[in-house]
Amino acid sequence: MSQHAHQQCINPDCQATFDIGRVLVACPDCGALLDILYDWDRLPVPAWSTFEQRWSTTGVNDDGRLDFSGVWRFRELLPFYRTADDIVTIGEGRTQLQDAHQVAAEIGLKRGQLHLQYEGLNPSGSFKDNGMAAAFTHARMVGATKVACASTGNTSAALALFAGLSGLSAIVFIGSGKIAYGKLSQALDYGATTIQIQGDFDACLRRVQQIAADVPDLGIYLMNSVNPFRLEGQKAIMYRVLQALEWQVPDWIVVPGGNLGNSSAFGKAFTELHQLGLIDRIPRLAIIQATGANPLYELHTEQGVRWNDGHWDSAKRDALYDRNIPANTVASAIEIGRPVNLPKALRALHVMDGIVRQVDDPTILEHKALVGRYGFGCEPASAASVAGTRLLIEQGVIDRDARVVCVLTGHQLKDPDATVKYHTGIDMKAAQDHAPVSDPAGRIANQPVRVDDDLASIVAALGGDPALVS
Ligand SMILES: *Cc1c(COP(=O)(O)O)cnc(C)c1O
Ligand SMILES: [Zn+2]
């Protein structure tokens, strides 16, 4: 395993460290999240120009394969792998930063100051591919054969695509009636075993964590963003933003917040770049949530919960979660009531002098249409970043001449139902709640397995022995 990387608990009162080759999704000592940390003093860190030169590579062999990837092009900034042979890539992260002057004019920013980081251009159509490239690399280092995730849709699409290409078997848990059709169609087409339980994302995540931890016989490697390697790959989104801006740091990064993996990864990316002397200042962060799924907004903005050197007020989180408020928003990718990366997001907000805002569904859909009108297109969750930027300009928090980067997290075709419904009033998604009208005719038809939200039933559906579950 890499000699200069280790896993470390983020809890300041614990800080336990673990070998990079262990499969962990939480600190075994205290249950907190883990970071991947590097011994930078003993590692070579190239100049920006090295990363830039790799961008033009088209090769599929040897180093060309790595240079072609928008994640591994920056491999010296996530050096947890042993050798290049470990690295998994499917050409993820060849995405672009677009100057969106028409959208800028609509939302009140000066011409040339609004940039959209268009992550919909990834192979599976969302930013999730960045993280999967890193997590699959780790999965391969440790010899995993089965990978699983809970998903609001895009994680499952990315996982299924990477698994299909790297010969691992994929299991995805999705909530009933909660997934956009584009994403469901991907998981099925890429051949994942798709477990559709009666419940929402948070229920799915609980189950898949249980399956990975408590039913070791199934031998499942967990790919949700509690997996710290995912976040290492997602740091690369910010490296690409910087490259497109010729290594000039923008004023604001605006990102939708669901499970808060992206915002956590961005905070870590900028912290490290600053430590390494590659940037001289850190941009501010705005995390935008949907009003119907706003736990971070509630805790950070309304209740004033802060990172506080790691001693953040978890009692306030527990009290909020005890209210069991169901997440409900048209932006299904951020329809999450209990974000697993909450502590890391609080840390990112601290490091990036960040703020959190919420926008309601009609506002999200209006801004999705706006992004679509001017040539990019995105799914509802992604448009929260643009809607949030307008709100922050109106509130006087973001200056009209500030340089702003909004992350467009997913492709427009991910969620055609939302687009069609916005433009026509026809609700295609309602069909998901009905039983199939006919048996599928395809020879390799891959139907979702509908299961109750019950551990023994899920284990049985996965071919395990339900008697092993107490
Ligand atoms: C996963 C996802 C999000 C939420 O990102 P987090 O890292 O979980 O906060 C937002 N938009 C899209 C399109 C996504 O797929
Ligand atoms: Zn710990």
pLDDT in tens, 56-109: 877 666 778 899 999 999 999 999 999 999 999 999 999 989 999 999 999 999
Put residue 81 in one of left, alpha, beta given phi > 0 → left and psi -120 to 50 → alpha. beta
How many angstroms separate the alpha carbon of residue 260 from the centre of ligand 1?
8
The CB of 334 under 6 Å from ligand 1? The reply is yes
Report pLDDT for 469: 80
* Span from the CA of 17 to the centroid of ligand 2 (angstroms): 8
411 C-alpha vs ligand 1 centroid, how far in Å? Answer: 12
Question: Is the pLDDT confidence value at 199 over 90?
Answer: no
- Cα separation, 17 vs 29, whole angstroms: 10
257 ligand 1 Cβ < 6 A: yes
Distance CA 328, CA 174 (A): 15
**Ligand 1 atom index nearest CA of 234:** 7
Single-letter residue type at 74? F
**In a 10 Å sphere around its CB, with 0-12 CB exposed, 13-18 middle and 19+ buried, how is residue 392 labelled?**
buried
- Ligand 1 site, residue 259, Cβ cutoff 6 A: yes
The band of 312, judged by pLDDT with boundaries at 50, 70 and 90, is very high
Q: What percent of the chain has pLDDT over 90?
A: 77
| Ligand 1 proximity of 128 Cβ (cutoff 6 Å) | yes
Give the Cα separation of 364 and 371 in Å (integer).
Answer: 11
Dist. CA 111 → ligand 1 center (Å): 28
Alpha carbon of 154 to ligand 1 centroid (Å): 8
Residue of 127, 132, 155 best suited for mutating to test ligand 1, as the one with most atoms within 8 Å of CB: 127
The domain limits of the chain are 96-124+231-417
Cα–Cα distance for residue pair 370/365, rounded to 1 Å: 9
For residue 168, the tally of other CB atoms under 10 A from its CB is 19
Q: 447 pLDDT band (50/70/90 cuts)?
A: confident
Decide if 197 contacts 452 (C-beta within 8 A). Answer: yes
Centre of ligand 2 to C-alpha 177, Å, is 36
- pLDDT at residue 1 above 60? no
Q: Is 262 in the pocket of ligand 1 (CB under 6 A)?
A: yes
Ligand nearest to the CA of 289: 1
**Rounded to whole angstroms, what are the CA distances from 409 to 5, 114, 125, 204, 369?**
29, 16, 9, 22, 15
Atom of ligand 1 nearest to the CA of 381: 11
In tens, the pLDDT along 28-45 reads 999 999 999 999 999 988
Give the ligand at the shortest distance from the Cα of 233.
1
129 lines ligand 1 (CB under 6 A): no
Q: Is the CB of residue 79 below 6 angstroms from any atom belonging to ligand 1?
A: no
Among 447, 453, 446, 454, which residue's Cα sits nearest to residue 470?
454
pTM of the model: 0.94
Give residue 386's pLDDT.
98
Cβ pair 139, 168 in contact under 8 A: yes
Residue nearest to atom 4 of ligand 1 (CA): 258
Could you say which ligand is closest to the alpha carbon of residue 35? Answer: 2
Task: Tell me the ligand closest to 293's alpha carbon.
Answer: 1
Residue 380 CB–ligand 1 contact under 6 Å = no
CATH number attached to the domain at 96-124+231-417: 3.40.50.1100
Give the position of tokens 């050096």: 79
Q: Answer whether 258's CB lies under 8 Å from 293's CB.
A: yes
- For residue 410, give the ligand 1 atom closest to its CA: 13
